[in-house]
Structure 1
Amino acid sequence: MRVVRFHAPGDVRIEDAPEPSPGPGDVKIRVRACSTCGTDVKILNFGHHHIVPPRVMGHEIAGEVVETGADVSGWAPGDRVQVIAAIPCGQCAECRRGRMTVCPNQVSMGYHFDGGFAEYMIVPPNVLAVDGLNRIPHGLSFAEASVAEPLACVLNGQNLASVGEGDDVVVMGSGPIGCLHVRLARARGAARVFLVDLNRERLDLAANLVHPDAAICAGPGPDAAKPSSAPGSAYGSETDVVDAVLKLTEGRGADVVITAAAAGAAQEQAVQMAARQGRISFFGGLPKDKPVIALDSNLVHYRELTIVGANGSSPQHNKEALRLIAEGAVPVADLITHRLPLQDALDAFGIVARGEAIKVTVEP
C-alpha cells in the first residue's frame, strides 16, 4: 500500500509500505478521507518532538472497518468510523476528573501511532479504551466526518470561553479553524460574528463561505487595502483592528475574542478589544521561540476579563462534533475546497502552506 511518511524535517515521502495486520486489540480500517491542517505543514518543515521517524502522518481520519482483532467486540467490517486524534490515557487524575484534553499521558495518531495518510491503518487499543472510535452518522460523507476532529477542538475552545446566546464574537484568523469558529458561534446563538485576518485573499475566500457580519483585513500590502468582495462590512489594511471592533460594537467591545492564529499581536489586541466581563480564548499556540506577549493586566483587572487557553479535544468532543455536522448545525462540506488523491499529498501540504484553500482533504 502507499503511505505518506515523515523521515526528517523537509523529508516527507510517498512510498510503499506493507499492509498492516491488526493485533488482538486493534481495528484495521481502510482510510477514506484524511484532512490536512497547518500542523501537518509544521511537521513537514520542522518535525515534532513526539514523532520518532519514520512515521505515517495524518490525524483527521475517517474510513471503514475492514478487520478486527480477536479481542475486539462491537465493530464489524463495513462500519463507517471517525478516529480521534488526541488519545487521553483515561486513568490519570485529570482524566478521572473529566479533564481529558489536558491528560499528561496523552498520545496522538500520526505522532505516536501511524496516521491516516495511508490506504490502510491500525486503530490501536488506546483509542478503543477511551471510546474514541466513532460511528459516522448515516448520510454523512467520509470527508465531512474527517472534519469532526478540528471541529471538536473548536467546540472545546468555545465551551471554555462560554460562547453563547447574544454574544458579539471576534474570530482572529480565517483559516479552516477560524471558519469553523464562525459557524459554531452562529450555531450557539451568537448575535454577530466578525472575522479578522492579515491576508486579504484568504479573508475573502473564507468570508464568502461563512458570511461573517464584518470582514476586517489588518494585513500589510496594497491588495489588503482594496474593498472586500466578501459580504458584510469590510475593512482594509490601514484599519486599526481594535478600533474597528469598537466601532462595530458601539464602543462596548466584543463579548468573546478567539485568536485562531499563531500571533502574539492578535492575543494582545484581543485583550484590548474585549468588552467588560469579556472572554478571550488563546486558541492558537504561539511559536516556541516567541511565546511571550505584552499583557495590560489592568485591562484584565478593571474590565473583569477572563482569558482561557484551549488545547485539543476529548473523545466526547469528537462525538458532539460529528452530531453537529450530521444535523447541519455546523455545515462543513463547502469548507472542503480541495480533494486530492494520496499520491498528491505533498501538493496538499503546499496548498495549505500557501493559504490557497480552506480545507484540503486527502482521499486514498
Structure 2
Amino acid sequence: MKVARFHAPGDIRLEDVPEPRPRPGEVKVRVRNCSTCGTDVKIFRYGHHHIRPPRVMGHEIAGEIAELGDGVTGWSPGDRVQVIAAIPCGVCEECRRGHRTVCPNQESMGYHYDGGFAQYMIVPAKVLAVDGLNRIPDGVGFAEASVAEPLACVLNGQELARVGDGDDVVVVGSGPIGCLHVRLARSRGAGRVFLADLNADRLAMAADLVRPDAAICAGDVDLVDEVRKLTGGRGADVVVTAAASGAAQEQAVQMAARQGRISFFGGLPKDDPVIRLDSNLVHYRELTIVGANGSSPAHNARALGLIAGGAVPVADLITHRLGLPEVLDAIDVVGRGAAIKVTIEP
C-alpha cells in the first residue's frame, strides 16, 4: 500500500509498505480522507520532538473499518469512523478529574503512531480504550468527518472562553481554524462575529465563505481601533487568537471589553513564546485569559454531531481535494495560505 512518511525536515516520501494487520484490541481502517493543517506544515519544515522517523503523518482521519483485531467488540467491517488525534491516557490524575485535554501522558496519531496519510492504518487499542473511535453519522461524508478533529479543538477553546448569547466575538486569523471559530460562535448564539487577518487575499476568501459581520484587514487598519469602532468603543466580549502571533495576543488584551474573555488558541513558536502583557488592563477590566490545548475524545464526538445537525457546516470549507501522491502539494498550499481546508483522499 502507499503511505506518505516523514523522514526528516523537508523530507516526506511516498512509499510502498506492506498493509498492516491489527493486533488484539486494534482496528484496521481504510482511510478515505485525512485533512491537512498548519501543524503538518510545521512538521514538514522543522520536524517534531515527539516524532521518531520514519513516521506516517496525518491526524485528521476518517474512513471505514477494514478489519478487527481479536477482542474488539461493538464494531464491524464497513463501519464508517472518525479517529481522534490526541490520545489521553485515561488513568492519570488529570484524566480522572475530567481534564483529558491536558493529560501529561497524551500521545497523538501521526506523531507517536502512524497516521492517516496512508491507504490503511491501525487505530491503537489506546484510542478505543478512551472512546476515541466515533461513528460517522448518516449524511456526513468522509471529508466532512475528517474536519471534526479541528472543530473539536475549536469547541474546546470556545467552551473555555464561554462564548455565548449576544457576545461580540473577534477571531484573529482567517485560516480553517478561524473559519470554524466564526461558524461555531454563531451556533453558540454570538451576537456579532468579526474576522481579522493580515493576509488580505486569504481574509477575502474566508469572508466569502463564512460571512463575518465585518472582515478586518489588519495590514490596512489598526485592528484594536477598528474593533473599538465596531463595538461603539466597548471592545469585544471574546477575542480568539487563531494565529501563531504574539502581536495578536498582545492586541487581544487591548481590544477586550470589560470582563471580556481572551482565548490564546494558537500557540507561539517555541523559540519566541514571550509577549508583553499590560497586566493593569487584565486587572482593572477583570479580563479572563485562557489557553486551549487540542480536544478530548468527547469533543470529537460532539463536533461530529454539530456537523451532522447542520449547526456548523464544513463541506464548503474544503477548498482542495488531493490524492496521496499530491501530499507535498497539499502541504505547500496550506503553507502559502492559498486554501481554507485541504483534504487528502488516499
Which TM-score band applies after superposition, normalised by the shorter structure?
over 0.9
Partner in structure 1 of residue 243 of structure 2: 261
Alignment partners' CA distance in 1, 2:9 and 2:35: 20
Q: Aligned runs of 1:315-330 on 2, under 5 Å?
A: 315-330=297-312
Partner in structure 2 of residue 240 of structure 1: 222
Partner in structure 2 of residue 30 of structure 1: 30
Alignment partners' CA distance in 1, 2:313 and 2:232: 31
Give the CA deviation at 1:132.
0.2
Partner in structure 2 of residue 311 of structure 1: 293
Amino acid across the alignment from 1:3 = V
Give the CA deviation at 1:218.
1.1
Partner in structure 2 of residue 234 of structure 1: none
Q: Does 1:342 align with 2:343?
A: no
Give per-residue Cα distances to partners, 1:17-64, cap 9 Å, x unaligned.
110000011100000000000000100010000000000000000000
Runs of 4+ in structure 1 deviating by more than 6 angstroms, as ranges, are none
Q: Does 1:297 align with 2:300?
A: no
Alignment partners' CA distance in 2, 1:70 and 1:50: 29
| DSSP-derived class of the 1:43 partner | helix
Q: Under a length normalisation based on structure 1, what TM-score does the superposition of the two structures give? A: 0.95
Residue from 262, 270, 290 that aligns with 1:280: 262
Give the CA deviation at 1:126.
0.6
Q: Does 1:359 align with 2:327?
A: no
| DSSP-derived class of the 1:325 partner | helix
Partner in structure 1 of residue 168 of structure 2: 168
Q: Which runs of 5+ in 1 are unaligned?
A: 220-236
| DSSP-derived class of the 2:73 partner | coil
Q: Does 1:130 align with 2:130?
A: yes
Give per-residue Cα distances to partners, 1:306-337, cap 9 Å, x unaligned.
00000000000000000000000000000000
Give the CA deviation at 1:71.
1.1
Give per-residue Cα distances to partners, 1:264-296, cap 9 Å, x unaligned.
000000000000000000000001111000000
| DSSP-derived class of the 1:94 partner | helix
| DSSP-derived class of the 1:255 partner | strand
| DSSP-derived class of the 1:278 partner | strand
Alignment partners' CA distance in 2, 1:300 and 1:243: 18
Q: Aligned runs of 1:223-238 on 2, under 5 Å?
A: 237=220
Alignment partners' CA distance in 2, 1:353 and 1:296: 32
| DSSP-derived class of the 1:300 partner | helix
| DSSP-derived class of the 2:149 partner | helix
Partner in structure 1 of residue 40 of structure 2: 40
Alignment partners' CA distance in 2, 1:309 and 1:206: 24
Alignment partners' CA distance in 1, 2:170 and 2:288: 15
| DSSP-derived class of the 1:245 partner | helix
Give the CA deviation at 1:300.
0.1
The alignment of Structure 1 onto Structure 2 pairs a total of residues equal to 346
Partner in structure 1 of residue 104 of structure 2: 104
Give the CA deviation at 1:244.
0.2
Alignment partners' CA distance in 2, 1:74 and 1:47: 37
Q: Aligned runs of 1:58-137 on 2, under 5 Å?
A: 58-137=58-137
Alignment partners' CA distance in 2, 1:178 and 1:30: 30
Give the CA deviation at 1:247.
0.4
| DSSP-derived class of the 1:313 partner | coil
Superposed CA RMSD in Å reads 0.4
| DSSP-derived class of the 1:127 partner | helix
| DSSP-derived class of the 2:276 partner | coil
Partner in structure 2 of residue 14 of structure 1: 14
Alignment partners' CA distance in 1, 2:69 and 2:59: 22
| DSSP-derived class of the 1:189 partner | coil
Give the CA deviation at 1:70.
1.0
Give aligned-pair identity as a percent.
79
Amino acid across the alignment from 1:313 = S
Give per-residue Cα distances to partners, 1:149-184, cap 9 Å, x unaligned.
000000000000000000000000000000000000
Alignment partners' CA distance in 1, 2:56 and 2:17: 10
Give the CA deviation at 1:189.
0.3
Alignment partners' CA distance in 1, 2:333 and 2:267: 22
Amino acid across the alignment from 1:314 = S
Q: Under a length normalisation based on structure 2, what TM-score does the superposition of the two structures give? A: 1.00
